Structure formats: C-alpha cells, structure tokens
Amino acid sequence: MVQPLQILEKSLNKKISVILKDNRVLVGTLVGYDDYMNMVLEDTEETQGEQVRRVGTVVLRGNNVVTIAPQ
Amino acid sequence: MVQPLQILEKSLNKKISVILKDNRVLVGTLVGYDDYMNMVLEDTEETQGEQVRRVGTVVLRGNNVVTIAPQ
Amino acid sequence: MVQPLQILEKSLNKKISVILKDNRVLVGTLVGYDDYMNMVLEDTEETQGEQVRRVGTVVLRGNNVVTIAPQ
Amino acid sequence: MVQPLQILEKSLNKKISVILKDNRVLVGTLVGYDDYMNMVLEDTEETQGEQVRRVGTVVLRGNNVVTIAPQ
Amino acid sequence: MVQPLQILEKSLNKKISVILKDNRVLVGTLVGYDDYMNMVLEDTEETQGEQVRRVGTVVLRGNNVVTIAPQ
Amino acid sequence: MVQPLQILEKSLNKKISVILKDNRVLVGTLVGYDDYMNMVLEDTEETQGEQVRRVGTVVLRGNNVVTIAPQ
Amino acid sequence: MVQPLQILEKSLNKKISVILKDNRVLVGTLVGYDDYMNMVLEDTEETQGEQVRRVGTVVLRGNNVVTIAPQ
C-alpha cells in the first residue's frame, strides 16, 4: 500500500499540481512538505479561472488543499 | 460489523468513486490511504458538472471527502 | 439514557436515512460505523433534490453527517 | 452556575427544540446525548422553511447544532 | 489583564447580547457557561433580521458564537 | 522574532482594530486575551458595511478573527 | 527537503505576500510567526479587489491563510 505522504516524498523536486478549496490551481516544483501536508512549491504558476500568473516560491497551508497530482 | 476503513482495505487496487465537498467526483484505482482517509488514486478521472478529465495519480485530503463508493 | 452511538448499534443491518451537510439524503442498510460516526451503508439510494440513484455500498465521513434516522 | 450539559440532563424525556446550522428546526423528545452534544430525539418533527415532516427517532451530530431550547 | 472567561463570570445572572455566525442575535440572562464558551441563557429574545421572538431558556454552542457583549 | 501573542501583550490597554470572518470590523481598547486569541475589547465600535454602532465591552472568539492591527 | 516553516524563518524581516481565505492579499515585512502560522507583518498593504490601503502592523491568524509567497 502507498501512504499518501509517500506520494509527496516521491514527488520531491518534481512538478505537482495542487487544487485548493477556493478553486485556485497551483503548479510548481515540490521542494518540501510536513505532516499536515503544508507544502513548499517553487517556480509556481497559479491559475484562477482564466487568469494565470507566476508566483515563484509559495508556502501552501495543508488545510486548504483538496487534491495533489504529480505531473 | 464492518469498520469504514475495512471497506478501504478491501477496495485496494480496485476502482472507487469519491465525492468531494466541492461536488467534484473522482473515479480511480485506490492504491493507498491513511487513518485520516487521505487517499491515493491512480488512473483517476475527475468529473465536475459536465466536464470530465483524466488526472492520473491523485492524493486526496480526507477532510474534503463526503462519500466513498467501491465500483 | 440512550447514547447516540447505541442508536447506531441497534440500527446495524437495518435501514437508516442519513442527511448530509450538502443536503443529499442517503438511505441504506447500516453495516458498520466507528467512533467518529463514519458509517458504511449497503444497498444505498441517494437523493439529491429530485434526482435519485442507486449507489450500492458507500462509506460516509461522519463530519458531513447532520442527522441519522432509523427507518 | 448551570453547566450547559446540565440543561440537557434536566431535559431528558422532555421536548426540546434544536436549531441546526442549515436552519432546520427539530422538535422532539430528548432521550440521550453525549459530551459532544450529539443527541438522540424521539417523536421528532422537522421544520425547514414552510415544510414540516415527522421523522421519528433521530441522531443529531453536535457540531451542527446552533441552539437547544427546552420547550 | 482580563481573561475572556472572566467577563462571562462577571456577567452571570446579568443580561448579555450574543451574536452568532448565522447573524442571529440572542439577548438573555447568562446563567451558565463552560470552557468552550457553550452558554446557557434565560429569558432569551432572539432577533433575526426584522423578526424578534421570545425563546426562553437556550443552550448555545460556543463554536457558533462570534461576539458576546454584557448589556 | 516577535511572537504574534507578544503584539497582543504590547497592545494591552491600547486601541486595536480587529477584522472578523463575517467582515465586521471592531475597534476598541484591548483589555485581555487568551492563548486562543479570544479577546476582550472595551469602548468598542463595530462597523459593518456603512453601519457603525457603539457596543461597549465585547468578548471576541479567536476562531472568528482574521487580522488584528494595533492602531 | 525544505520545511514550510523554514521558508517563514528565511523570510524574517523580508517582504512576503499572504493570500487569505476571504481573498484579501496582505503584503508586508514578516517580523514574527508561530507554529500555527500565525504571523506578524509590518508596513503592511492590504488589497481587496481594487481597494488598497496601508494597515501598518498586523497579526494574521494562521487558519485564515491560504498561501504565503516571499517577494
């Protein structure tokens, strides 16, 4: 069985796509995380509706995360 | 009596359908989960309203899950 | 005094009706539950507004449950 | 001083009116509760807007309760 | 420094006004509370928009409370 | 480094402005707080949209607070 | 691996941009934080829709934070 946190471990330094509760989508390189699924992304691109913008390094609060998909 | 987590245990490597709080439906193969009902799905198809898209491997946060149905 | 979980215990293998926070109603046979009121229903019928559909076995997250009524 | 749970204790086998977060009102006989204010009502009548219906025995999740009023 | 619970202590048997998350306002005599700010009000008057009604004794769940003001 | 609670400590008996989740703004003199950022304000003025009113002493639940700004 | 809190540590006395659940954006100098990601910002500028205003020192509750980006 694969633990959810193992997917994060295997995704380190790789691109992931994160959907937040407010429907924003963040795509960036996962460089860190903790047990609460707080995450650090680098070279992040944020999409909200039609709007896309580069936001560089981002700390995400785990409790706002809906899904995480390795790219 | 069947413990809820036993249903997940029995569903490992089988298709399940998960409804999230934001009404998205994810159908994929359950390959892992933890005590908080965080889950890992593979070959996942996401449906939101009329829109369907393939999202591959997905980590789901348990606190966004409403219902889980083995397929 | 009747503990709330005793009602679940007495409802095992009987039909119950569960109302969820998103207003969906699930009617099915209770085959299991845990201390968080996560539940397992079988032969479940889901009603949302006018729409009814059979969903078979379902795991419900307790934190989405509003009320549980033995049928 | 009156502890909130003492009001529940004193209301056992008496009619109470419970307002839920989704604005439904349940009026029924309190036959049990636990420390989380999960409750068991009997002979319950549910009012939502103009709509009233009898729902018999109901288990209420405490985290959906806004107010409890002895009748 | 005044601890928030001390204000409740000092307000025992006095009128307080409580604003709930759903915008209802309850004005009544505080006769009890616990560490979670669950409260018991007596001779309570509930205001929701233009609508005022007497609700007598009420148990309030602390997690629905926004502000408490001694009258 | 400044701990968030130190700002509250330094703000005792001074005016602060608190924004709540429901967009109300409370401006008053901070006379107490606890570890959950529950607070006691005195001589409080509440602003909601265009509407301003004096509410005197107020106990605020920390879990409804978004931001706190010393004035 | 970079822990999320390390990004905050490295951002001390530097400008960060914080997005809150209510869509407000706060840009200010991070001068403190705690384990719950409660933060203290100085020289803060708040943007809500088209509206920008200076709010000076601000204490942010961690549970309202969605993302944190070093500038």
In sequence order, what are the residues at sequence separation of 6 or more whose Cβ sits closer than 8 angstroms to the Cβ of residue E18? E25, E26, E27, E39, E41, E60, E65, E67, E68, E69
Which segments of chain C have a pLDDT < 50?
A: none
Judged against a pLDDT cut of 90, whether residue D49 lies above it is answered with: no
Q: Distance from CA of residue D57 to its chain's centroid?
A: 11
Interface test with A, best of B37, B54, B61 (most A CBs within 10 A): B61
Q: Are strands F25-33 and F15-20 parallel, antiparallel or unpaired?
A: antiparallel
**G69: which residues sit within 8 A by CB, 6+ positions away?**
A44, A55, A56, A57, A58, A59, G16, G17, G18
Mean pLDDT in residue range B30-57: 95
Contacts of A7 in chain B (CB under 8 A): 32, 40, 57, 59
Q: Which residue of A has its CA nearest to B10?
A: A1
- Chain B residues lying within 8 Å of C34, measured CB to CB: 3-5
DSSP chain C: ---HHHHHHHHTTSEEEEEETTS-EEEEEEEEE-TT--EEEEEEEEEETTEEEEEEEEEE-GGGEEEEEE-
CA distance B67 to chain C (A): 5
The half-sphere exposure of G29 on its side-chain side, counting CA atoms within 13 A, is 9
Provide mean pLDDT across the span E36-49. Answer: 95
> Among D67, D68, D71, which would you mutate to test the E interface (most chain E Cβ atoms within 10 Å of its Cβ)?
D67
Q: Domain residues of chain E, as ranges?
A: 4-65
| DSSP code of residue D11 | T
pLDDT in tens, G28-45: 999 999 999 999 999 999
What does the pLDDT look like over G43-71, one tens digit per residue?
999 999 899 999 999 999 999 999 999 99
Q: Which residues of G12-46 are buried (b: 16+ CB within 10 A; e: fewer)?
A: eeebbbbbbbeebbbbbbbbbbbeebbbbbeebbb
Average pLDDT (D30-53) is 95
Predicted local distance difference test score (pLDDT) of residue C47: 94
Answer whether C37's CB lies under 8 Å from C7's CB: no
Q: Which CATH number fits domain G4-62: 1.10.10.10, 3.30.930.10, 2.30.30.100, 3.10.129.10?
A: 2.30.30.100
User: What's the pLDDT score for residue E58?
Assistant: 97
- Which of A66, A68, A71 has the highest number of chain B CBs within 10 A, making it the mutation to test binding with B? A66
Q: What DSSP string describes G8-41?
A: HHHTTTSEEEEEETTS-EEEEEEEEE-TT--EEE
pTM: 0.88
pLDDT at G60: 96
Mean pLDDT score, B20-39: 95
Distance CA B28, CA B41 (A): 5
Q: How far apart are CA C16 and CA C65, in angstroms?
A: 13
Residue E18: pLDDT band by 50, 70, 90 thresholds?
A: very high
Domain A4-70 coded CATH 2.30.30.100:
yes
Assigned token pair, A22: 């407010």
Cβ contact A24:A44 at 8 Å:
no
What is the CATH T-level fold of the domain F4-64, as seen in this structure?
SH3 type barrels. (2.30.30)
- Three-state SS at B14: coil
Dihedral sign from CA coordinates of A56, A57, A63, A65? positive
Residues in chain F within 8 Å Cβ distance of E38: none
User: CB of G39 within 8 Å of any CB in chain F?
Assistant: yes
Tell me which residue has tokens 């934001």.
B22
Check residue A49 and give its pLDDT.
87
With an 8 Å Cβ cutoff, are D37 and E12 in contact? no
What single letter denotes the amino acid at residue F33?
Y
3-state DSSP of E1-70: CCCHHHHHHHCCCCEEEEEECCCCEEEEEEEEECCCCCEEEEEEEEEECCEEEEEEEEEECHHHEEEEEE
Tell me whether chains F and G touch (3+ CB pairs under 8 A). Answer: yes
CATH class of D4-65: mainly beta
Q: Which residue in this structure is represented by tokens 């007497």?
A: E54
A6 CB neighbours in chain B (<8 A) are 32
Q: Digits of tens for pLDDT over chain F (71 positions)?
A: 899 999 999 999 999 999 999 889 999 999 999 999 999 999 999 999 899 999 999 999 999 999 999 99
Q: B4-66 in CATH: which number? A: 2.30.30.100
CA–CA distance, F67 with A1 (Å, rounded to integer): 42
Q: What does residue G62 show for φ and ψ, rounded to 5 degrees? A: -60, -35
Distance from CA of F1 to the nearest CA of G (A): 5
- Nearest Cα residue in chain E from F45: E69
- G42 — phi, psi (to 5°)? -120, 160
Q: Please, which residues have CB within 8 angstroms of residue E5's CB and are 6 or more apart in sequence? A: E33, E35, E37, F34
Chain B CB contacts of A4 below 8 Å: 32-34, 38-40, 59-60
CA distances from D7 to D4, D11, D28, E59, G53 (A): 6, 6, 15, 7, 48
Q: Which chains touch D (3 or more CB pairs under 8 A)?
A: C, E
Q: Which of F59, F61, F65 to mutate to test the interface with E (most CBs of E within 10 A)?
A: F59
Other beta carbons within 10 Å of B70: 16
Check pLDDT > 90 for residue E54: yes
E64: contact with D, CB 8 A cutoff? yes
Q: Is the pLDDT of residue E45 over 90?
A: yes
Residue A7 predicted with pLDDT over 90? yes
Please, what sign has the CA dihedral across residues F55, F60, F64, F69? positive
Q: B19-24: long-range contacts (C-beta < 8 A, 24 or more apart)?
A: B19/B65, B19/B66, B19/B67, B19/B68, B20/A66, B20/A67, B20/B60, B20/B64, B20/B65, B20/B66, B21/B64, B21/B65, B21/B66, B21/C22, B21/C64, B22/A21, B22/A23, B22/A66, B22/B64, B23/B48, B23/B49, B23/C22, B24/A66, B24/B48
Tell if the CB–CB gap between B67 and C60 is shorter than 8 Å: yes
DSSP 8-state symbol, A6? H
- In sequence order, the 6+-apart residues with CB closer than 8 A to the CB of G35 are G5
Q: What is the CA radius of gyration of chain A?
A: 11
Neighbouring-strand partners of residue G67: A60, G19
Burial of F61 (0-12, 13-18, 19+ CB in 10 A): buried
Separation CA A28–CA E10 (nearest Å): 53
